[in-house]
Amino acid sequence: MTVFTLAHLSDPHLPPMPVATLRELAGKRILGYLNWTKNRHVIHRRDVLDTLMADLRAHRPDHIAVTGDLVNLALEQEFAPARQWIERVGPPDRVSVIPGNHDRYVRDTAERFAETFPDYMSGDDRSNAVVFPFLRRRGPVVLIGVSTAVPTAPLRATGWLGEAQRAALEAQLASLAGDPAFRVLLIHHPLRSKARHKRLTDSAELQALLARHGVDLVLHGHDHVHSTIFIDGPRGPIPVVGVPSASAGPDGHRPPAAYNLFSIARDGERWRCDHTIRGFGEAPGITQLSAVRLTPEG
């Protein structure tokens, strides 16, 4: 039985924060900058991220999915270091990236993320052109990337797909109806959120779409916690899995850094998907935190 291993991490919020001018911090960025200097610079640590990535690389996944928030305030100076970091994670054919709300934090630099990572977000049928949703086929797995990242007002971190992107996603999933591939949807915002200021505003429409057409797995970030829920699909429940920030040190409020590993294999007429979480826990260093089977037995 051939097993395909997919790694998932999110929200590295790459430290350190570059020096910014007062002009760059005008508007929404000033609140984000104050939050960084007061709180987030202690939470998001490069040594934590580097340790996590060393463990991930040691497991030699076939592909890596990064579900957004590589940068913090979408400052111009953040994008070149982010590009250098993702190149160390892996080449574009082994790594898929989607943007998070921090990657498109303000309108002035909203397009810089796509300009910086076109080869990590382009579909198989396009040459470095970033069009969402993108589709990338890797072995038995089809990765479908959508963008929920939109510049928002201060104190808001909501996301949305929009009617055009949902229509394109529906057409894409309909075209895969007879395809035996294991379909993975990459999205930054969770499909359910208790915080209205951080929610996916058209989540109900997306969930209805997935109930009609289905995928096999949904991966997200954004809320910096371990999360596994199940939503309705046409052939049974669809697992929706989130992950803590990949650079989060232990602060007593949010889970420390972790990543997901999914072992995907064909088991007769069905897919089998085993989910392992590795990250920082009570023991020193990176350990296995849990291991479960996401797909039903039999």
Lowest-pLDDT range of 4-8, 60-64, 235-239, 250-254: 250-254
Query: In the chain, what are the domains?
Result: 3-293 (3.60.21.10)
Who wins on pLDDT, 129 or 286?
Answer: 286
Nearest CA among 118, 142, 67 for reference residue 97: 67
pLDDT tens digits, 135-193: 999 999 999 999 999 999 999 999 999 999 999 999 999 999 989 999 999 999 999 99
What is the predicted pLDDT for the residue at 297?
A: 67
Region 233-237: mean pLDDT is 95
Positive or negative torsion for Cα 217, 218, 224, 230 = negative
Q: Which residues pair with 135 in a beta bridge?
A: 144
What is the predicted pLDDT for the residue at 241?
A: 98
What is the predicted pLDDT for the residue at 251?
A: 78
pLDDT tens digits, 178-232: 899 999 999 999 999 989 999 999 999 999 999 999 999 999 999 999 999 999 9
What confidence tier does 126 reach under pLDDT thresholds 50, 70, 90? Answer: confident
What is the predicted pLDDT for the residue at 269?
A: 85
What is the predicted pLDDT for the residue at 43?
A: 94
Q: What is the pTM of this model?
A: 0.97
For 296, other C-beta atoms within 10 Å of its C-beta total 9
What is the predicted pLDDT for the residue at 283?
A: 77
Mean model confidence pLDDT for the chain: 95
What confidence tier does 282 reach under pLDDT thresholds 50, 70, 90? Answer: confident
